[in-house]
């Protein structure tokens, strides 16, 4: 059996800098060209392929990367991730329709608002463990939605309409041809991957991993668990908020109905499907789970059912996710006999 | 704003106590499982929903009850009630047993991934509610009236209705049976032993798998009964009904101290009353939020609940 | 006369109705190996938990130098220079041996999330230094060859030694070892004793819980004995070994002779 993942890792390790740069560019070029493949077997029956690439696929990837830091790496079950998405989206909706700011100006505000929501949620609840954290975060997500629903000032049940597209830089964002939206979100995804990779291989990544595996032992080894848990939450919230700003700007209309518990579950399923903690797995997972229901219509109504099955089946049978296991061990060859291994 | 509360105080109180008993029964599913597993049974809300649907199915399609037809005679009615109650209890118990088997059993010994069983249970809950949604078309299903809503008597201007009364009495009986069972029976002692110290219980010869399965089953029986009573009082079911009721029952369990059966009794009745009174004062659209806020406040300031044990302990 | 660096004063802790430790007084002198022994349930690990901040005492204090550290946060106590191993191995199983140690060394680094995110020169320097330091510790303990293996796949003996290496990563002044030789065969115990001596000679102070008497008598400077939460002896190993109260605690008081 060819283990693509290990082959890829070997290739990467053997290559020098120029080859690596070239590889990355090649992959990016292929991915960027995807919208042009809309008329192939990849075609989605109802929604346009390039629209599907943006939502749900691109958005799911972005949010799954954010949730992955919280759930996958740090082991904190956040069932209310949609709340940060909603905060970002509503920030965009409100400021976009009532002030003259454009999407890129609103983006940092939306991210900051989501991060603030993250801190607000994290501080009282991070002392809770496991199940209780899950329920409380679930509650938080619902509270945000119901508050939006009952607040006439921000549109109530009907939400907010007329949210402007982002300003194009020499091009125009369009509804019928979503290429520019797609490339924008691609840039966002690449940026997020880059930042997460940096964090993962350094102290924050180790801190999060140690918290996930044995929080008490981590704390006794000097890891400031409370601080790092808040960081994980806030970081994940920032990504969710950023995704929300983008989503609102592209969707033109948002309403509380767009931000239900189901969305939190969908993103969680992407993380589980891809393998918790594993960036590449999560990207592959979100891509597949985002794409399939739009490609095969019969799956579409059963989308939530499918995702629920993913949660149960993968947690029980394949918790490491769909990508094959990474062979991280180097054989102990030099030090002599094949003694107890 | 408070007028509605004072005018109808006793009527609201009876409704509140009846709702409270429904919460108590559902809370049994959460609190007992937490006692032996130290985990929340996330799928209990769907176990409740299935129990409720069982009553509707049996009364509507087996006994062909309907609000347009002639109501059945007392004897037949008694038989119908018994069958529906049993159907609900058994359906929920069976589902609870399956939930434990599929979602929890394989994963509960994993110590490195503590959230795996939770995710698995959430997944199962979703699968169940989605299957029901697809089968019933996401519409609210109305139940025929089973226990007639006659007034038995009046007290201070409030009607004492038959359906509320039966809910209260039957709920009380079930709770007392459960309480005695836990205290005096061999299985009950096994359950208590496991919830206090799993390792010692195993050393004393307790069959852990069996105790845990039976805990789920008993919780399922209670939760199913709650489904029956809910349908009697409210006469409707929907695939997602479990969510808010499950959440409220869970909150009740936490209020009383999770793992503590008598605490859950107190929590359930109190929450039922609080909820009915609050609806009279501020209306119902903020209800889910209020319950969550109560839960969060309790977990922050009194995580042991009023009577219970500590919610998490560091184990070194 | 070497100075006292850790001082347990009138340390008492009650859990509900049970008094796990009752007015325990113990001084740990700099540079010594002090063994804490006693029958199972005597309260030895509880002492460790009180020192490292897992529990707060019901009364009494833990002094590190002149500072009372009881009640401080656990990671803060580690920062102040106390590190421990565990009775049941609690490694980070999905990390490699090297990563486990580096997680320990991280506590001495200054760079946090922001620095790591932007890849500041300081963060790169600290990363490189951490890797070097971790390898040094692994070589010191003798398990450097396992550096890239996942901790959960290591042989038992290596895992026990990794626990010690990880604790050393935090650059402690005081090392608390909780039954480090559990499950070892005699040969491994001899090697472990040598390692513990080596650690002490490198400048660390060691508080050791162990059951193996020959191991303890071989390397300890002093032995303290706990029984039912109280200290019943605290002296040189040879003296403690012959203390009738200690013998009674372990073996029980003999029935009336026939």
C143/chain B closest Cα distance in angstroms: 24
Give me the total of CB pairs closer than 8 Å, taking one residue from chain A and one from chain C. 105
| C-alpha distance from residue B259 to each of A336, B126, B265, B305 (Å) | 55, 25, 11, 10
Q: Quickly count: other Cβ atoms within 10 Å of residue B8's Cβ.
A: 15
Q: Do A219 and C150 count as a contact with CB atoms less than 8 A apart?
A: no
Q: Does B316 touch chain A (CB under 8 A)?
A: yes
Burial A147-182 (b: 16+ CB within 10 A, else e): ebbeeeebbeeebbeebbbbeeeeeebeeeebbbbb
Residue C255: the pLDDT is 56
Token pair of A115 as six digits: 């991060």
What average pLDDT is seen over chain A? Answer: 85
Cα–Cα distance between A90 and A160 in angstroms, integer?
8
As a CATH number, domain C1-81+172-253 is 3.40.50.300
Residue C62: the pLDDT is 94
Higher per-residue confidence, A240 vs B203: A240
C239/chain A closest Cα distance in angstroms: 34
Token pair of C43 as six digits: 């309260």
Tell me which chain C residues have a C-beta less than 8 angstroms from the C-beta of B316: 45, 49, 54, 86
Query: Rg of the Cα trace of chain B?
Result: 19
Cα–Cα distance between C153 and C157 in angstroms, integer?
12
Find the Cα–Cα–Cα–Cα dihedral B228, B232, B235, B240, rounded to 10°: -30
Helix (H) or strand (E) holding C100: helix C97-105
Token pair of B176 as six digits: 């007392």
CB-nearest to C92 from A203, A210, A231 is: A210
Q: Do B115 and A129 count as a contact with CB atoms less than 8 A apart?
A: no
B303/chain A closest Cα distance in angstroms: 9
Q: Is the peptide bond before A56 cis (omega within 30 degrees of 0)?
A: yes
B112/chain C closest Cα distance in angstroms: 8
Domain limits, chain C = 1-81+172-253, 94-169
Backbone angles phi, psi at A80, to 5 degrees: -125, 30
Cα–Cα distance between A246 and A181 in angstroms, integer?
9
> Interface partners of C (3+ CB pairs, < 8 Å)?
A, B
Residues with Cβ within 8 Å of A27's Cβ and at least 6 positions away in sequence, in order, are none
**Strands C230-235 vs C222-227: parallel, antiparallel or unpaired:** antiparallel
Q: Does A186 touch chain C (CB under 8 A)?
A: no
Q: Do C95 and A209 count as a contact with CB atoms less than 8 A apart?
A: yes
Token pair of B125 as six digits: 């809950």
Query: Rg of the Cα trace of chain A?
Result: 21
| C-alpha distance from residue B15 to each of B12, B161, B285 (Å) | 5, 9, 19
User: In chain A, which residue's Cα lies nearest the Cα of B137?
Assistant: A301
pLDDT at B84 over 80: yes
Tell me which chain C residues have a C-beta less than 8 angstroms from the C-beta of A328: 96, 148, 150
Range of the domain at B12: 3-301
Q: Do A203 and C150 count as a contact with CB atoms less than 8 A apart?
A: no
| For range B150-179, the mean pLDDT | 85
Q: pLDDT by residue (tens digit) across A188-225?
A: 999 999 999 989 889 999 999 999 999 999 999 999 99
Asked if residue B310 belongs to a domain, the reply is no
Helix (H) or strand (E) holding A302: none
Concatenated DSSP letters of A28-72: HHHHHTGGGGGGSTT--SSS-HHHHIIIIIIHHHHHHHHHIIIII
Q: Do A220 and C93 count as a contact with CB atoms less than 8 A apart?
A: no
Q: In the structure, what pLDDT confidence band is assigned to residue B5 with cuts at 50, 70 and 90?
A: confident
Look up tokens 């349908």; give the residue: B231
Of the given ranges (A79-83, A154-158, A192-196, B20-24), which has the lowest mean pLDDT?
A: A154-158
Long-range contacts of C214-221 (CB under 8 A, 24+ apart): C214/C189, C215/C181, C215/C189, C216/C35, C216/C37, C217/C241, C218/C193, C219/C33, C219/C193, C220/C33, C220/C34, C220/C35, C221/C32, C221/C33, C221/C34
Q: In the structure, what pLDDT confidence band is assigned to residue B312 with cuts at 50, 70 and 90?
A: very low
List the beta bridge partners of residue C62: C8
Domain limits, chain A = 57-260
Q: Does A119 touch chain C (CB under 8 A)?
A: no
Of the given ranges (B312-316, C13-17, C212-216), which has the lowest mean pLDDT?
A: B312-316
Report which of C92, C108, C89, C111 is spatially closest to residue C100, judged by C-alpha positions: C92
Q: In the structure, what pLDDT confidence band is assigned to residue A331 with cuts at 50, 70 and 90?
A: very low
pLDDT at A330 over 50: no
Look up tokens 């789920």; give the residue: B216
Residue C123: the pLDDT is 87
Q: In the structure, what pLDDT confidence band is assigned to residue A29 with cuts at 50, 70 and 90?
A: confident
Q: Do B39 and A131 count as a contact with CB atoms less than 8 A apart?
A: yes
| For range C208-231, the mean pLDDT | 90
| C-beta separation of A283 from A277 below 8 A | no
Q: How many CA atoms lie within 13 A of A318 on its CB side?
A: 16
Higher per-residue confidence, C249 vs C12: C12
Collapse the DSSP code of C84 into the 3-class scheme (helix H, G, I; strand E, B; otherwise coil) and give the result: strand
Q: pLDDT by residue (tens digit) across C221-240?
A: 999 999 888 898 898 988 88
Q: In the structure, what pLDDT confidence band is assigned to residue B315 with cuts at 50, 70 and 90?
A: very low
| C-beta separation of A276 from A313 below 8 A | no
CB-nearest to A319 from B116, B288, B289 is: B116
Cα–Cα distance between A261 and A137 in angstroms, integer?
10
Report which of A218, B311, A119, B303 is spatially closest to residue C73, judged by C-alpha positions: A218
Residue A286: the pLDDT is 93
Tell me which chain B residues have a C-beta less than 8 angstroms from the C-beta of C49: 316
Q: pLDDT by residue (tens digit) across C107-156?
A: 998 888 888 888 888 888 999 999 999 999 999 999 999 999 999 999 99
Query: For chain B, where are the E strands, in sequence order?
Result: 141-142, 151-155, 158-161, 236-237
Q: How many CA atoms lie within 13 A of B228 on its CB side?
A: 30
- Mutate which of C55, C106, C107, C149 to disrupt the A interface (most A C-beta within 10 Å)? C106
CB-nearest to C93 from B112, B314, B316 is: B112
Cα–Cα distance between B231 and B81 in angstroms, integer?
11
Please return the burial class of C142, using the count of CB atoms within 10 Å of its CB with bins 0-12, 13-18 and 19+: middle
User: In chain C, which residue's Cα lies nearest the Cα of B315?
Assistant: C54
Sign of the dihedral through C-alpha A28, A29, A32, A36: negative
- Could you tell me the CATH number of the domain that includes residue B210? 1.10.3470
Q: Do B316 and C94 count as a contact with CB atoms less than 8 A apart?
A: no
Tell me which chain C residues have a C-beta less than 8 angstroms from the C-beta of A214: 90-92
Look up tokens 């929907």; give the residue: B238
CB-nearest to A199 from C96, C102, C116 is: C116
Find the Cα–Cα–Cα–Cα dihedral A130, A134, A135, A141, rounded to 10°: 160
DSSP character at residue A325: P
| C-beta separation of C49 from C207 below 8 A | no
Asked if residue B74 belongs to a domain, the reply is yes
| For range B72-100, the mean pLDDT | 91
Q: In the structure, what pLDDT confidence band is assigned to residue A132 with cuts at 50, 70 and 90?
A: confident
Q: Do B316 and C49 count as a contact with CB atoms less than 8 A apart?
A: yes
Q: pLDDT by residue (tens digit) across B8-63?
A: 888 888 889 999 999 999 999 999 999 888 888 999 999 999 999 999 999 888 88
Residue A21: the pLDDT is 85
pLDDT at B314 over 50: no
Collapse the DSSP code of C116 into the 3-class scheme (helix H, G, I; strand E, B; otherwise coil) and give the result: helix
| For range A77-93, the mean pLDDT | 94
Q: Do B316 and C54 count as a contact with CB atoms less than 8 A apart?
A: yes
pLDDT at B118 over 80: yes
Tell me which chain B residues have a C-beta less than 8 angstroms from the C-beta of A77: 115, 118-119
Helix (H) or strand (E) holding C35: strand C33-37
Q: Does A214 touch chain C (CB under 8 A)?
A: yes
> ipTM for the complex?
0.90
Q: In the structure, what pLDDT confidence band is assigned to residue A338 with cuts at 50, 70 and 90?
A: very low
Q: pLDDT by residue (tens digit) across A56-78?
A: 899 999 999 999 999 988 989 99
| For range B271-285, the mean pLDDT | 85
pLDDT at A334 over 70: no
User: In chain A, which residue's Cα lies nearest the Cα of C114?
Assistant: A199
CA-based angle B110:A216:A280, to the nearest 5?
60
Question: What distance, in Å, lies between the first and last C-alpha atoms of chain B?
Answer: 52
pLDDT at B1 over 80: no
pLDDT at A341 over 70: no
Report which of A341, A200, A73, A217 is spatially closest to residue C91, judged by C-alpha positions: A217
A171/chain C closest Cα distance in angstroms: 31
B315/chain C closest Cα distance in angstroms: 9
Q: pLDDT by residue (tens digit) across A226-263?
A: 999 999 999 999 999 999 999 999 988 999 999 999 99
Q: Do A217 and C90 count as a contact with CB atoms less than 8 A apart?
A: yes
Q: Does B273 touch chain A (CB under 8 A)?
A: no
> Interface partners of B (3+ CB pairs, < 8 Å)?
A, C
Backbone angles phi, psi at B148, to 5 degrees: -65, 145
Collapse the DSSP code of C2 into the 3-class scheme (helix H, G, I; strand E, B; otherwise coil) and give the result: coil
Residue C5: the pLDDT is 93
Of the given ranges (A159-168, A203-212, B209-218), which has the lowest mean pLDDT?
A: A159-168
Token pair of B77 as six digits: 């009615």
Asked if residue B10 belongs to a domain, the reply is yes
Query: For A254-298, where are the E strands, in sequence order?
Result: none
CB-nearest to A206 from C78, C99, C113 is: C99
Number of domains in chain B: 1
Tell me which chain B residues have a C-beta less than 8 angstroms from the C-beta of A144: none
Q: Do C94 and B112 count as a contact with CB atoms less than 8 A apart?
A: yes
């Amino acid at each position: 059996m060819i283990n693509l993942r290990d082959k890829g890792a070997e290739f990467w390790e053997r290559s020098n800098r120029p080859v690596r740069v070239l590889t990355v560019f090649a992959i990016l070029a292929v991915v960027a060209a995807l919208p042009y493949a809309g008329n192939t077997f990849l075609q989605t029956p109802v929604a346009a392929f390039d629209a599907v690439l943006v939502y749900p696929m691109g958005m799911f990837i972005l949010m799954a990367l954010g949730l992955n830091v919280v759930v996958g790496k740090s082991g904190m079950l956040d069932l209310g991730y949609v709340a940060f998405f909603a905060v970002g989206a509503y920030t965009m909706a409100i400021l976009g329709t009532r002030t003259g700011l454009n999407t890129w100006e609103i983006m940092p505000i939306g991210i900051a608002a989501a991060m603030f929501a993250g801190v607000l949620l994290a501080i009282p609840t991070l002392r809770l463990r496991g199940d209780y954290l899950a329920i409380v975060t679930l509650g938080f997500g619902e509270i945000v939605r119901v508050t939006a629903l009952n607040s006439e000032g921000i549109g109530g049940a009907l939400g907010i309409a007329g949210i402007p597209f982002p300003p194009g830089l020499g091009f125009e964002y369009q509804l019928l041809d979503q290429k520019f939206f797609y490339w924008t979100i691609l840039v966002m995804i690449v940026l997020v991957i880059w930042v997460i990779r940096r964090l993962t291989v350094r102290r924050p990544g180790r801190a999060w991993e140690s918290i996930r595996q044995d929080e008490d032992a981590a704390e006794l080894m000097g890891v400031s668990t409370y601080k790092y848990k808040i960081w994980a939450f806030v970081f994940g919230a920032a990504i969710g908020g950023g995704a929300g700003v983008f989503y609102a700007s592209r969707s033109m209309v948002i309403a509380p109905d767009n931000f239900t518990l189901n969305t939190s579950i969908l993103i969680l399923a992407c993380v589980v499907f891809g393998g918790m903690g594993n960036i590449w797995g999560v990207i592959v997972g979100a891509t597949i789970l985002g794409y399939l229901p739009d490609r095969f219509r019969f799956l579409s109504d059963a989308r939530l059912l499918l995702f629920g099955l993913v949660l149960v089946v993968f947690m029980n049978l394949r918790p490491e996710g769909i990508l094959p296991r990474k062979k991280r061990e180097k054989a102990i060859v030099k030090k002599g006999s094949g003694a107890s291994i | 704003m408070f007028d509605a509360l004072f005018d109808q105080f006793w009527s609201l109180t009876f409704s509140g106590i009846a709702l409270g008993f429904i919460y108590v029964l559902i809370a049994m599913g959460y609190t007992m499982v937490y006692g032996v597993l130290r985990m929340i049974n996330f799928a209990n809300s769907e176990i409740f929903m299935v129990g409720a649907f069982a009553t509707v199915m049996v009364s509507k399609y087996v006994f062909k009850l309907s609000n347009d037809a002639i109501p059945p005679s007392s004897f037949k009615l008694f038989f119908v009630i018994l069958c529906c109650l049993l159907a609900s209890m058994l359906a929920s118990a069976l589902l609870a047993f399956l939930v434990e088997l599929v979602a929890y059993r394989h994963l509960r010994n994993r110590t490195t991934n503590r959230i795996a069983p939770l995710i698995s249970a959430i997944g199962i809950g979703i699968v169940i509610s989605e299957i029901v949604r697809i089968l019933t078309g996401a519409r609210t299903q109305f139940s025929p009236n089973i226990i007639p809503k006659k007034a038995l008597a009046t007290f201070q201007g409030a009607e004492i209705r038959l359906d509320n009364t039966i809910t209260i009495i039957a709920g009380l009986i079930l709770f007392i049976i459960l309480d005695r069972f836990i205290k005096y029976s061999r299985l009950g002692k096994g359950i208590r032993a496991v919830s206090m110290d799993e390792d010692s219980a195993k050393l004393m010869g307790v069959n852990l798998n069996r105790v845990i399965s039976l805990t789920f089953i008993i919780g399922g029986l209670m939760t199913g009964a709650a489904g029956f009573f809910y349908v009697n009082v409210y006469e409707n079911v929907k695939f997602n009904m479990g969510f808010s009721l499950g959440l409220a029952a869970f909150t009740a369990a936490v209020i009383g101290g999770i793992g503590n059966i008598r605490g859950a009794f107190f929590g359930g009745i109190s929450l039922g009353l609080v909820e009915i009174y609050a609806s009279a004062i501020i209306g119902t659209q903020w209800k889910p939020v209020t319950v969550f806020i109560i839960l969060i406040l309790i977990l922050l300031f009194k995580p042991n609940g009023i009577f219970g044990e500590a919610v998490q302990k560091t184990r070194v | 006369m070497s100075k006292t660096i850790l001082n347990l004063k009138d340390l008492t802790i009650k859990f509900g109705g049970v008094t796990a430790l009752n007015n325990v007084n113990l001084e740990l002198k700099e540079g010594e190996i002090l063994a804490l022994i006693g029958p199972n349930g005597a309260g030895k690990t509880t002492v460790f938990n009180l020192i490292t901040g897992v529990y707060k005492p019901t009364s009494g204090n833990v002094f590190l130098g002149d500072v009372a550290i009881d009640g401080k946060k656990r990671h803060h106590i580690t920062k102040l220079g106390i590190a421990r191993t565990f009775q049941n191995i609690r490694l980070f199983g999905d990390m490699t041996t090297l990563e486990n140690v580096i997680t320990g060394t991280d506590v001495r680094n200054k760079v946090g999330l922001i620095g790591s995110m932007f890849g500041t020169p300081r963060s790169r320097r600290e990363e490189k230094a951490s890797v070097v330091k971790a390898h040094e510790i692994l070589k010191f303990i003798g398990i450097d060859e396992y550096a890239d293996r996942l901790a959960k796949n290591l042989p038992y003996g290596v895992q026990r030694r990794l626990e010690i290496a990880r604790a050393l990563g935090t650059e402690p002044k005081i090392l608390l070892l909780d039954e480090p030789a559990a499950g070892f065969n005699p040969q491994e115990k001899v090697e472990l004793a040598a390692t513990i001596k080596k650690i002490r000679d490198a400048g660390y102070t060691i508080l050791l819980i162990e059951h193996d008497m020959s191991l303890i008598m071989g390397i300890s400077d002093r032995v303290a004995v706990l029984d039912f939460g109280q200290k019943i002896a605290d002296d040189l190993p040879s003296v403690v070994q012959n203390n009738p109260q200690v013998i009674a605690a372990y073996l029980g008081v003999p029935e009336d002779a026939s």
